[in-house]
Structure 1
Amino acid sequence: MAALREAAAETMRTHPSTRIAVLSDYDFVYELRGLDAPATDGHGGLLETSRVMALAPETVGSERPVVAYRASRFVPGSPTADEWPESVIGDTRRASAELGAKIQEHVLDRLVSEIREILPA
């Protein structure tokens, strides 16, 4: 996302009449941290697993890992598969399609709200 934001900023600088919005649906999903999920929820955690259960349940396995992955801010880069075999940050035991549908509704509501705010009528 950082590269996209930089490219958008450069494009708007060189073309002042251009407006670009750079966002991810996860900008809105992660607003629910500390509300519908623990504040530490992350990759493959409760929020993400619930979304996938609502959108493509056939792709979600039956295991519900609980992982408290702790990255060091002093070690650059992504962890290796050996350091992080589950690739999950959070407790997925409460994941459900119902929560996923609620998350999707939040994402869509926020997306519509942002579009209405950004784009002229």
Structure 2
Amino acid sequence: MLIENITMEEFAQGLEVCKTVYIPFGSVEEHGSHLPLSTDTIEAYEVGKRAAERIPLFVAPPIHYGCCRSTSRHPGTVSISTATLKALLKDIVRSLHAQGLVNFVVLTGHAGGSHRMALQDAGEELIQELPQINMAVVTEYELAKESGAHLIETRGDAHAGEIETSRIMHSHPHLVKGLAPAEYPNFPIGILVRDKRSFWPGGVWGDPGKASAEKGKVLESLVADKVVELVKALESRRW
């Protein structure tokens, strides 16, 4: 059930069979010269749609903004603070809980460290504030990398490379603008760099040349399977 497309009556009817909602977080962030700025959001939302085809599941409208530090100097990246991100997730969960939902799967298509930690912190605070709820906070990219390890040829693939290019080739091929060259940035260890783009000019971490729509289709399905497993685990008991 895509919340953005249903009526209030359909929402109420859905609550009779489902108390679980999937909340996709993404970003507006560079993904090389070949992928759209909304790549992370697209990936997270498409997985939710696939999961909702398999089990009763509310899918919230995607949150398009995230905390993007490493790519902040690349053209097109729009970043929000971790404080804003935390507050946003907490307000959304509180509101959905007031509507009758009790199980929350937060999946982020953006895998930045500070972004992930902010969502994790918000989740930890929410389960203390709302004892009735169950929550999971997971990273879409990590699920894709883990479940699709047998498909991925690029060692160290991380951003706008084989995995993400494959995903967008499958779900939104019209948004793929050629293929950027492979790139493996090398940031100095321990040093906080102001101009991160000077160490990462192309905005790719991996090899888009090894991507394919076929891989993307399989990866999307595998991640959806992981989400279904997670939903069933949340619904099986009080955590």
TM-score range, shorter chain: 0.7 to 0.9
Q: Is the 8 A contact 1:33 1:41 kept in 2?
A: no
Q: Is the 8 A contact 1:33 1:39 kept in 2?
A: no
Superposition pairs of residues 1-121 of structure 1, within 5 angstroms: 1-32=116-147, 34-37=149-152, 38-76=154-192, 80-120=196-236
List alignment gaps of at least 5 residues for structure 2.
1-115
Q: Which amino acid aligns with 2:141?
A: Y
Residues 57/92 of structure 1: CA separation in 2 closer, same or farther (3 Å cut):
same
CA distance in 2, matches of 1:116, 1:54: 27
TM-score (structure 2 length as normaliser): 0.46
Q: Say what the alpha-carbon RMSD is for the aligned residues.
A: 2.2
Q: How far 1:78 sits from its partner (Å)?
A: 7.5
Cα shift readout 1:60-105 (whole Å, capped 9, x = no counterpart) = 1213411121233312368633321210011111211111101111
Residues 97/78 of structure 1: CA separation in 2 closer, same or farther (3 Å cut):
farther
Moved more, 21-30 or 73-82: 73-82
CA distance in 2, matches of 1:62, 1:71: 27
Q: Is the 8 A contact 2:147 2:223 kept in 1?
A: no
Residues 20/40 of structure 1: CA separation in 2 closer, same or farther (3 Å cut):
same
Answer 1 or 2: which has greater strand percent.
2
TM-score (structure 1 length as normaliser): 0.85
Aligned residues between the structures? 121
Q: Is the 8 A contact 1:67 1:91 kept in 2?
A: yes
CA distance in 2, matches of 1:32, 1:120: 23
Q: Is the 8 A contact 1:33 1:40 kept in 2?
A: no
CA distance in 2, matches of 1:2, 1:17: 23
Moved more, 36-45 or 67-76: 67-76
Q: How far 1:110 sits from its partner (Å)?
A: 0.9
Over 6 Å off, 4+ runs:
none
Q: Is the 8 A contact 1:46 1:95 kept in 2?
A: yes
User: Which one has more relative contact order, counting CA pairs under 8 Å at least 6 apart?
Assistant: 1
Q: Secondary structure at the match of 2:138?
A: coil
Identity of aligned residues (%): 27
List alignment gaps of at least 5 residues for structure 1.
none
CA distance in 2, matches of 1:112, 1:15: 23
